[in-house]
Amino acid sequence: GAVVSQHPSRVICKSGTSVKIECRSLDFQATTMFWYRQFPKQSLMLMATSNEGSKATYEQGVEKDKFLINHASLTLSTLTVTSAHPEDSSFYICSALPPGSYEQYFGPGTRLTVT
Amino acid sequence: KNEVEQSPQNLTAQEGEFITINCSYSVGISALHWLQQHPGGGIVSLFMLSSGKKKHGRLIATINIQEKHSSLHITASHPRDSAVYICAVNFGNEKLTFGTGTRLTIIP
């Protein structure tokens, strides 16, 4: 099946620094990728839809200047958490959507801890 | 309003038992997905359905479009099936709307 990777899998950073998370589709091209956030024992919350070559579409309540998304190629989207604060600590998951399909392939997730 | 409801929220069963997890949704859909999330956090897509029934190994997923309802069944359950199972739906676009998940624990 299709494979999506995420890097890093785990990151600890100090408050005020920025962290970049990469999401790659390894064996297919994805014009659309999604970024999710998940709090403990809760379901996934969609943060934004990342479209190759265009600006990301953010969900209501998600600060686009805080969570910068870049989808520079058909296999790579990045999420940068800028000026991270402890409340940004969470599990971030990406997914990639092959063209013409509804089936999303999920990355393994990145656990961010901001101290 | 586009909503997805799952039940039960938690389910504990003995190894070997037949497991059923239910999912209901509010309006017409393009597709319904069953996802599995293990404690490490990774999510695996088990099934994508728009009608009928699909089977993979010990897992069976069914959907009734008229009743707006889907079920995920696990036969001969095993401790390694312990995970969170999530129902997610495409309400006419590419975005997924997620159910709250069912935490399944299979006791040896």
pLDDT tens for residues B16-36? 999 999 999 998 889 999 999
| pLDDT < 50: residue spans in chain A | none
Residue B98 with chain A: CB contacts under 8 Å = 43-44
Distance of alpha carbon B76 from alpha carbon A11, whole angstroms:
38
Enter the tokens of residue A33.
């990728």
Residue A2 touches partner B, C-beta closer than 8 Å: no
Share of chain A above pLDDT 90, in %: 80
Among B43, B63, B97, B103, most A C-beta atoms within 10 A, so best to mutate, is: B43
Contact A102 B48 (CB under 8 A): yes
pLDDT at A1: 66
Residue contacts between A and B (CB atoms, under 8 Å): 51
Mean pLDDT, chain A, whole residue set: 93
pLDDT at A64: 93
Closest residue by Cα to residue B86 from A77, A35, A33, A45: A45
CB contacts under 8 A, A 16-75 vs B, are: 32, 34, 38, 42-44, 46, 49
Strands (E), A26-106: 32-38, 45-51, 57-58, 67-73, 76-81, 90-97, 105-106
Residue A76 touches partner B, C-beta closer than 8 Å: no
Enter the tokens of residue B31.
């597709």
CB atoms within 10 A of CB B78: 12
Q: Which residues contact B87 (CB under 8 A, 6 or more apart)?
A: B4, B6, B21, B23, B32, B33, B34, B35, B70, B72, B98, B99
Q: Residue B1 pLDDT more than 80?
A: no
Distance of alpha carbon B38 from alpha carbon A109, whole angstroms:
12
Q: Residue B89 pLDDT more than 80?
A: yes
Beta bridge partner(s), residue B32: B49, B89
